[in-house]
Amino acid sequence: MEKCPKNHYGISRDDALILFSQLDSMSKVLENIRRIRTSNGYSQDQMADLMDVERTTYNNFETGKTRLYSKSFSRFASVMGMSEEEIIFGEKPGLTHGYLQSGNLEDKINSLEEKVEELGAAVGKLSDRIALLLEQSGKSRR
């Protein structure tokens, strides 16, 4: 397997695409946490009390300012009477809708593959543009 060249930040195109994917997944989990809390009628203050943490600790957990997969994540799942998997996927396992429906999963994978290709092309164009700008700035300094 051929390795992708790294840019001047030391990150390969493949690594950048993986990072984009992980950030998108994390934001979906954070959205699920907030949606679950609000759909159950709890404020952040109330959740902090139920989880026996400070409000700022809970806020940092829900907004992703602290490590998502921590004791807070397990406590949140326990307080809400859900599994961690249900929170990650936003639904109960085995349901025939959402991510777990095979047809929709295939569509989602195809859609994500298209996005990865688009992001790869965008990263390539940006890398080329950065290289050109660096080259131009090097010439202007002489």
Residue 138's pLDDT is what? 80
CB atoms within 10 A of CB 61: 25
Full domain range(s) for residue 36 = 12-93
CATH code for the domain in which residue 83 is found: 1.10.260.40
Alpha-carbon gap, residue 120 to 106, rounded angstroms: 21
Residue 114's pLDDT is what? 85
DSSP line for 17-71 = HHHHHHHHHHHHHHHHHHHHHHHTT--HHHHHHHHTS-HHHHHHHHHTSS-SSSH
Whether residue 135 sits in one domain with residue 114 = yes
Number of structural domains the chain divides into: 2
Q: What is the mean pLDDT of each run of 10 residues along the chain (142 residues)?
A: 51 58 72 91 94 91 78 87 81 47 63 84 89 83 54
Whether residue 66 sits in one domain with residue 136 = no
Residue 11's pLDDT is what? 61
Whether residue 22 sits in one domain with residue 85 = yes
